[in-house]
């Protein structure tokens, strides 16, 4: 892939160290408190179709040691590839299962979790993180979430998740300590779903309580 930098390349973070630290902390907090949005407010203008929050996450988490996969819409935009390469040095890979970070510009373009790197029992950290642009994405239905970082039960509409995601997530969750972690990048916030979080449809949760 060409790494030529177009003349209209947009800037990265206004304050690279401070902004990267703020976004990094927001992502860590999102994964520590699953389904609870964490604010991300940065002065950033990445090239379309890369969203602001998505761009901020990439700048904060990726560097020259990071293999990165982009969905077809992002990969087809030379300005996006050049912007990421210039500001992070990250290597864009052809296969999603070779990537540490998998970037989807919409829920419908996200690869299946089973097709991504999930680490091993001995090295679970060698797994992928899937990042989905969830701006304006509808919910997939009433969900309940339980697990570390969630006091009791969290209720959520699943905004930003792909259709038929629950089946994928159940399988992903059952493989712990292996598994994919998920970050949803909304307009001005990030939301995390680590592999330790259990998700079920709210109606299923209600049925389980009735049958208990």
The span from the CA of 59 to the CA of 89, in Å, is: 10
Q: Kindly state whether residue 8 falls inside one of the protein's structural domains.
A: no
Q: Kindly state whether residue 190 falls inside one of the protein's structural domains.
A: yes
pLDDT for 93 = 98
Q: Which domain holds residue 26?
A: 16-211
Q: Kindly state whether residue 2 falls inside one of the protein's structural domains.
A: no
Give the residue ranges of DSSP H helices in the chain. Answer: 16-32, 52-61, 72-75, 78-88, 165-174, 202-211
CATH number of the domain within which 198 lies: 3.40.50.11310
* Overall number of domains in the chain: 1
Q: Kindly state whether residue 6 falls inside one of the protein's structural domains.
A: no
| List of the chain residues with pLDDT < 50 | 1-5, 205-211
pLDDT digits (tens, 9 = 90+) for 94-150: 999 999 999 999 999 999 999 999 999 999 999 999 999 999 888 999 999 999 999
pLDDT for 6 = 52
Q: Kindly state whether residue 49 falls inside one of the protein's structural domains.
A: yes
Q: Kindly state whether residue 5 falls inside one of the protein's structural domains.
A: no
pLDDT for 101 = 98
Q: Kindly state whether residue 91 falls inside one of the protein's structural domains.
A: yes
Q: Kindly state whether residue 4 falls inside one of the protein's structural domains.
A: no
User: For 150-184, what is the HEC assignment?
Assistant: CCCCEEECCCCCCCCHHHHHHHHHHCCCCCCEEEE
């Amino acid at each position: 892939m060409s790494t030529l930098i177009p003349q209209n390349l947009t800037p990265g973070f206004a304050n690279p160290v401070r902004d990267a630290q703020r976004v990094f902390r927001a992502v860590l907090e999102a994964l520590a408190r699953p389904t609870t949005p964490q604010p991300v407010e940065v002065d950033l203008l990445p090239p379309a179709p890369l969203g602001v929050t998505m761009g901020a996450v990439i700048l904060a988490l990726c560097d020259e040691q990071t293999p990165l996969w982009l969905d077809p819409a992002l990969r087809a935009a030379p300005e996006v590839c050049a912007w990421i390469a210039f500001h992070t040095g990250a290597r864009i890979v052809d296969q999603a299962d070779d990537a540490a970070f998998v970037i989807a510009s919409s829920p419908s373009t996200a690869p299946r979790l089973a097709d991504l790197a999930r680490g091993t029992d001995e090295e679970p950290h060698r797994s992928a993180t899937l990042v989905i642009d969830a701006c304006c994405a509808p919910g997939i239905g009433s969900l309940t979430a339980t697990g570390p970082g969630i006091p009791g039960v969290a209720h959520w509409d699943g905004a930003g998740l792909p259709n038929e995601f629950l089946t994928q997530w159940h399988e992903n969750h059952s493989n712990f300590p292996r598994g994919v972690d998920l970050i949803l990048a909304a307009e001005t916030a990030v939301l995390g779903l680590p592999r330790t979080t259990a998700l079920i449809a709210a109606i299923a949760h209600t049925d389980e309580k009735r049958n208990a």
